[in-house]
Amino acid sequence: MSTQPGSEILLLTMGDVCGIGPEVLAAALAEEHDPGLCVVGDVGVMRRALQQVGVQMPVLRVEAPADWSADRSLPPHCLPVWQPEGLPADLLTCPLGQIDARAGAAAARCIEAAVGLIQAGHAAGVVTAPIHKEALHAAGVDFPGHTEMLQALASGQEGLLPVRMMLANEELRTVLVTIHCSLRQAIEQISCANVLQTVRIAEAAMRRFGIAKPRIAVAGLNPHAGEGGLFGDEEILHIAPAIALARAEGIDANGPFAPDTVFMRARHAPGHPGAFDLVVAMTHDHGLIPVKYLGVEQGVNVTLGLPFVRTSPDHGTAFDLAGSGRADPSSMRAAIRMARRLLA
């Protein structure tokens, strides 16, 4: 691991305070015992979260990120929290399990502050607890999700960085060509250039995971991958040409395969080694349903293409569980451990 100042620090944003984000963070950090972790959030909210999950652990308010990123003398078995300026002062009054603009504003501010710390060299990556898109919208934050917000924050004046969403667990990895948009818009965004760019980003990510020659399956868009043009021509016009160009670059990309069977072929299960290391899917639900069906408790969302590591648990704010202390922290723990693996 790099020994540059801040290179070992992993930030964790608290997410929407009306959901389960603070609770799964508190439960996960009670077991991780990693001195390089620090929550970016509200001190009072994190104290309440520890009580909600029944964990007795002191909260240490971190005052100066420039100091603690170089000084590893934090007390043992405490929950360090850096509370950025600009958070609403009354977050503990936000009703649990409901959409609240204050919660959306706080979630966005924590993300912005975390990226600022990373860009200043005080941290190397971020794990984000779930946010609620309607709460963001209520707060006037014009992003449909984490991926787009992080993309904008990380990009310069030259234009937006090309980023992609990957969802992964121990059995299956999938990377999406299109993410948070309507299905009609997603179909309009399928182009040879977008598919090729996704394959390139996916291949680079797999090499970062230590796979020297990743085997990439590319799913089609239409039923039966278009059946030779009978059910649509996107495979002929856009997807197959992108695969050919990727292969010409030395990338082991194959397809397009029928979306209803390719994930079964790629799945790594006991006694069933997968035929591929990763599947590139055209749309959000095509790619995420198979991974989530295998179990959200181990699923991790990774944003590929950013200049820093970003992971997130594979679930939402779960308003119905907020405040109960019953939310499963397994996916959050998996997200933290994957971020650590990517930083190694």
The DSSP string of 217-245 is EEE-SSGGGGGGGTT-SHIIIIIHHHHHH
d(CA 158, CA 68): 33
**Beta carbons within 8 Å of 325's beta carbon, 6+ residues apart:** 23, 52, 53, 54
Share of the chain above pLDDT 90, in %: 78
Q: Let me know: does 310 contact 203? Beta carbons within 8 Å.
A: no
Whether this prediction's pTM lies above 0.85 is answered by yes
Q: Give the relative orientation of helices 240-248 and 192-208 as an angle to the nearest 10 degrees.
A: 50
d(CA 126, CA 255): 34
Task: Give how far Cα 25 sits from Cα of 13, 122, 126, 155, 302, Å.
Answer: 9, 21, 13, 28, 17
Does residue 307 have a pLDDT over 60? yes
3 — pLDDT class (breaks 50, 70, 90): very low
- pLDDT for 270 equals 86
d(CA 22, CA 44): 11
- pLDDT for 71 equals 52
1 — pLDDT class (breaks 50, 70, 90): very low
- pLDDT for 225 equals 93
Does residue 260 have a pLDDT over 90? yes
More confident residue, 64 or 178: 178
d(CA 14, CA 44): 12
Write the DSSP string, 81-110. EE--TT--TTGGGSPTTS--HHHHHHHHHH
| Interior/surface letters 162-189, b for 16+ CB within 10 angstroms, e for the rest | ebbbbbbbebbbbbbbbbbeeeeebbee
- pLDDT for 36 equals 87
Q: Let me know: does 287 contact 281? Beta carbons within 8 Å.
A: yes
Share of the chain above pLDDT 70, in %: 94
33 — pLDDT class (breaks 50, 70, 90): confident
- pLDDT for 32 equals 81
Structural domains of the chain, ranges and CATH numbers in brackets: 10-161+315-343 (3.40.718.10), 170-290 (3.40.718.10)
- pLDDT for 296 equals 67
Does residue 68 have a pLDDT over 80? no
Write the DSSP string, 146-175. HHHHHHHHH-BTTB----EEEEE-SS-EEE
Residue 120 sits at the vertex; the CA angle it makes with 3 and 36, to the nearest 5 degrees, is 45
Does residue 70 have a pLDDT over 70? no
Q: Write the pLDDT tens digit of every residue in 209-231.
A: 889 999 999 999 999 999 999 99
More confident residue, 7 or 58: 58
Alpha helices in 33-81 (DSSP H): 43-52, 65-68
> Residue 36 gets which letter from DSSP?
T
d(CA 26, CA 21): 9
d(CA 186, CA 282): 8
d(CA 102, CA 89): 9
- pLDDT for 2 equals 38
End-to-end CA distance of the chain: 5
Q: Which two tokens stand for residue 320?
A: 């119905």
Does residue 69 have a pLDDT over 60? no
Mean pLDDT of the 124-144 span: 94
Q: Is 155 exposed, middle or buried (0-12, 13-18, 19+ CB in 10 A)?
A: middle
The chain-wide mean pLDDT, for the chain, equals 91
